[in-house]
Amino acid sequence: MADKIKDSKIIFVVGGPGSGKGTQCEKVVAKYGYTHLSSGDLLRAEVSSGSERGKQLQAIMQKGELVPLDTVLDMIKDAMIAKADVSKGYLIDGYPREVKQGEEFEKKIGKPCLLLYVDAKGETMVKRLMKRGETSGRSDDNEETIKKRLDLYYKATEPVIAFYESRGIVRKVDSELPVDEVFSQVSKAIDALK
């Protein structure tokens, strides 16, 4: 089964909370027929399914601990295999958070052909998230928490970007622009893939 996904197009999508990467992923799915996989969504879905694995994950997350890398990779891989027959490629959203995760992903699943770096200024992301907090009721959308999340995100992401930049597969997209202009940058990057 795993052979099916080995030769697929895999795109890592990296961007801070509020960078607009979710919106861009939706647009890619609509235009290119890719499958959008977010490790956060997969974890939440697994927990709400009430499965054995879901219960274990819930216990880990309730303690505020990080879910083991192997577990996350298994979930991504299962989701990829499930879509292998219909998918034109995969958007792996919010992953890898660190270089080691990227290396493990390549060992277990496959190499990315592109890393889309959806980048907005820190203050833009704060503004967008504050706005989302007004409507979403997400408790983690208040200013202090947001700034903390952004700090963590930058610390974690810089080495990842540098690692893939050395391979020449990073395409930085300026998401300060209107959504459609951002998407035309994204499309250019995807159209350039062989």
Question: Using an 8 Å Cβ cutoff, are 112 and 170 in contact?
Answer: no
Residue 66 annotated as binding site: yes
d(Cα 173, Cα 162) in Å, to the nearest integer?
15
Residue 65 annotated as binding site: yes
d(Cα 134, Cα 142) in Å, to the nearest integer?
9
Question: Using an 8 Å Cβ cutoff, are 116 and 13 in contact?
Answer: yes
The residue type of 107 is K
Residue 22 annotated as binding site: yes
Residue 51 annotated as binding site: no
Residue 137 annotated as binding site: no
Residue 97 annotated as binding site: yes
Residue 21 annotated as binding site: yes
Residue 149 annotated as binding site: yes
Phi and psi angles of residue 156, each rounded to the nearest 5 degrees, phi first: -75, -35
Residue 49 annotated as binding site: no
CB atoms within 10 A of CB 167: 10
Residue 132 annotated as binding site: yes
Residue 87 annotated as binding site: no
Residue 102 annotated as binding site: no
d(Cα 53, Cα 139) in Å, to the nearest integer?
26
Residue 73: which residues within 8 A CB-CB, separation 6 or more? Answer: 104, 105, 108, 109
Residue 166 annotated as binding site: no
Residue 94 annotated as binding site: yes
Question: Annotated binding site, which residues?
Answer: 18-23, 39, 44, 65-67, 94-97, 101, 132, 138, 149, 177
Residue ranges of the annotated binding site for AMP are 39, 44, 65-67, 94-97, 101, 138, 149
Binding residues for ATP, as ranges, are 18-23, 132, 177
